[in-house]
Amino acid sequence: MNGLARILVTAMFLCGLIASAHARDASEPKAVLVTGASSGIGYKIAEVLAGNGFHVYAGARKAEDLARLDEMHNITAVRLDVTVQADIQAAVEFVRKEGRGLWGIVNNAGVARYSPLATAPIEDVEFTFDVNVFGPIRVNRAFLPLVIESGGRTATISSLNGFVAGPGDGGYTASKFAVEGYTDSLALELAETGVHVAVVEPGGYKTRIRDKLVTEALASAKAGEFDLSDEEREELARYQESNESMKEPDEVAQAVLHLMTSDAPKKRYMVAPNPRQAAVTIRAALERVVQLNTDQPYSYDRDELVALLDELLGD
């Protein structure tokens, strides 16, 4: 265990977080926190987990969403804005007082904004990172003591954009690349705690995030924050319309269910809706390997690369 991990685990022990203050019946449903559960992927994850015997703490911000989630079987709505530390701390205290403990965390809350990185207001990029990257960091730091106590699991919903870059997304791709690195580092830090750290990487599934992205992009352009050409406006319209023909995120929810129930959960769940998106993602990952290896001071020849791939596939 490295120094940082030792400090983290020691601090959690000192706070009395490994020994439970209240004995719990082992027959009780395991509890999982899902952030951003009001719609789309988060809502489907909460619904599937609740339907498969978990008690779900469903995080949302709006009163009407909280009321709707509270009416669902095995779901308790929790007021939770992942950018507000006071909300997070209040949610921790609520979950602790409920007495169920916490088996899992699903960091699903996320945003996307159309704002070109070279010209858009820096506040747009900062907001994207505040939700997509610092949100999971805040939530995990607050709730991990409970998950360590249960020897459970924590996951962040990333995206295939964590491997495949896209233009004009206001830092969305960059934030998802950051989530990939965060997952790897956190997994190493928590390796000796019994907590499994994973990342789920959906492709293009139906979600309200596209409508929000286009609506905000048009509003920002109208306010003069950046210019949109006719071609860009047409592309945004096609992007918005494509949402209706996309698959519901059932496969994403099933991946999370596997993560939370399997005796051998994966570290990464690539959930592509079709073979094309899967192929593009794997190709992008391999292209990065080729770039790292081509005309560099230390490189592998083809046979060595194939041997390395065979070794990794054998793990």
* Cα 141 to Cα 14, 86, 88, 150, 194, distances in angstroms: 15, 13, 10, 15, 16
Catalytic hit among 43, 172, 205, 269: 172
> How many CB atoms within 10 Å of residue 258?
15
Say which amino acid occupies 72. Answer: M
Report the candidate in 51, 59, 52 with the shortest Cα–Cα distance to residue 33.
59
Q: Examine the residue annotation and report whether 114 is marked as an active-site residue of this protein.
A: no
Say which amino acid occupies 22. Answer: H
CA distance 200 to 5: 23
45-68 core/surface letters (b: 16 or more CB in 10 A; e: else): bbbbbbeeebbbbbbbbeeebbeb
The alpha helices in 158-263, defined as continuous H runs, are 172-189, 209-222, 230-242, 250-261
CA distance 152 to 209: 29
For residues 111 and 127, is the Cβ–Cβ distance under 8 A? Answer: yes
CA distance 45 to 64: 19
Indicate which residues carry an active-site annotation: 172
